[in-house]
Amino acid sequence: MASAPDGKHLGLGVAATLLTATLLWFGTGLHPYWPLMWFAPLPVLLFANRASGRGTFCTAAVACALGNTNLWNYLHRDLGTPVASVLRIYALLGVVFALAVLLYRALLRRGAYWAALLAFPAFWVSFEYLLNLTSPHGTGGNFAYSQLNFLPFLQLASLTGPWGMSFVLLLTPAAVALAVHLRRSAPKQALHIAAVSFAVLAAVLLFGAARLAVPVSGESVKVGLVASDGPNEHVADEGPATDALLRAYADAVQILASAGAEVVVLPEKVGVTVDPTTESVDAQLQSLANQAHVRLVVGLVHVVPPAAGKAMKLKYNEARVYTPGAGVESYDKEHMLPPFESELTPGTSLRLLSSTNGAGTWGVQICKDMDFTQLSRRYGNSGAGLMLVPGWDFFSDWIQHGHIAIMRGVESGFSVVRSAKGGSMFVSDDRGRILAETRSDSAPFATLLVTVPSRHEPTLYPRWGDWVAWLALGLLACTLGLLRFTPKASVSGVKSAAP
């Protein structure tokens, strides 16, 4: 007689695992379908309402680990992450997700329903935030990036950064799971939890819709982007190879400038310059900027040989800026991609530029810099209204990684001009709307010409910083304390025995 209920319970656990894993697989990854992430945790949470601790842990851990295997080829093949390291990543994600679900379950069993509602998103957001502080990949993999196409919800980033988005994204299925569990034993409590949670979501979406409806005002600029893949996919060697490639790029720059481009952005690491011959490369590109009457932003690897008495040369991933009639300026990439850039020296300073009409401020970052919120917040607090970003992707991640930059613009109030080889070139405004985009392999030298707003939009997030992440950490501490001092209640419908 006991085998039938146990078999049924096991079947429910398997079903919950597969459903959550499937929703995570398609709701995140290289090409996320954003609606699915609003439901992804729900099967596991519903199962946790009645399951044992062991069954809950196994179900949640396996579901999360399986769902994240959608990035296996990207992590192992493209980024070169060893198999053992990829497996450790999946194990970590699975365990953390399972612990978050276990905390939800434990508080539910003690009758602390509001605490259970908050504990699940607080646990995961705390993990995302701490991982951001310690990982060389920053906010990469954050659940919030699954929602880049959900523009009303994306506007929340201007207040909270990615942390508020992840919190609301996980709060919603937790509320549904609690309401389903309490619908018979405590229907008023179920209604209150559902009403408050969906009121929060409604307020977020109303704020987003209102922000999207505000007309864009202020100055704008016509920007050009150019990128080349194929034989130019790799970094051109120093000397003749770099000179020849830059001359080829010059033809596309001239066309964009003649069509009205005021600034043209080339990709990251187009070629290599070694001092003292960097001066000749600068002269070549400065002459192009002067003749075409266009500002150029060019990604180059800049090598500085050892100075007298020093045995080590320095290598920088630079964006060199050439303004007609002005001196050369540069920005050194701050956040490197291991192991590919481990030998490069990180930069430490912002590069702020006066706009071409002198009415605003522009900034410069490079590729992976846009994975980190703090650098963009510094630019936002400096009044940047336009971010010029040379980049380089792995073809497969042109959406998953390339579009991360869109959220930085929403957070810190600037438009983004990102020109990447191995991916796409796009321009987005400070609401996260992609104004134009084209693949970098769409032509031998693919180009894009777009008029984009360049005024700074003040937002709360650069001023207040990661306040929601700290709130999540505080909520997590409170719920853990409540768990420690609250005895188990007799909760209807919760199975106490192991399945």
Give 252-275 pLDDT, tens digit per residue. Answer: 999 999 999 999 999 999 999 999
pLDDT band (50, 70, 90) for residue 495? very low
Stretch 56-77: mean pLDDT, rounded?
A: 95
Stretch 77-86: mean pLDDT, rounded?
A: 92
Q: Residue 233: what pLDDT?
A: 63
461 has pLDDT over 80: yes
Q: Residue 493: what pLDDT?
A: 42
pLDDT band (50, 70, 90) for residue 489? low
Residue 236 DSSP one-character state: B
CA gap 260, 254 in Å, rounded: 10
Pair 170, 121: CB distance under 8 Å:
yes
Pair 330, 319: CB distance under 8 Å:
yes
Pair 150, 173: CB distance under 8 Å:
no
* Per-state percent for the chain, helix, strand, coil, to nearest 5: 50, 15, 30
43 has pLDDT over 90: yes
Task: Kindly report the pTM of this predicted structure.
Answer: 0.93
Stretch 454-470: mean pLDDT, rounded?
A: 97
Q: What is the pairing mode between strands 295-304 and 384-392? A: unpaired
CA-based nearest residue to 462, from 366, 361, 384:
384
Residue scoring higher pLDDT (312 or 482)? 482
CA gap 173, 376 in Å, rounded: 31
For the record, the structure tokens of 444 come out as 């031998």
CA gap 455, 477 in Å, rounded: 41
pLDDT digits (tens, 9 = 90+) for 20-39: 999 999 999 999 999 999 99
204 has pLDDT over 60: yes
pLDDT digits (tens, 9 = 90+) for 285-318: 999 999 999 999 999 999 999 875 566 789 999 9
pLDDT digits (tens, 9 = 90+) for 98-126: 999 999 999 999 999 999 999 999 999 99
Residue scoring higher pLDDT (215 or 447)? 447
CA gap 33, 227 in Å, rounded: 28
Q: Residue 306: what pLDDT?
A: 84
CA gap 361, 381 in Å, rounded: 11
Query: 3-class SS at 294?
Result: coil
pLDDT band (50, 70, 90) for residue 487? confident
pLDDT band (50, 70, 90) for residue 231? low
Residue 160 DSSP one-character state: H
Q: Residue 21: what pLDDT?
A: 98
Q: Residue 183: what pLDDT?
A: 93
Q: Residue 357: what pLDDT?
A: 77
Neighbours of 475 (CB within 10 A): 19
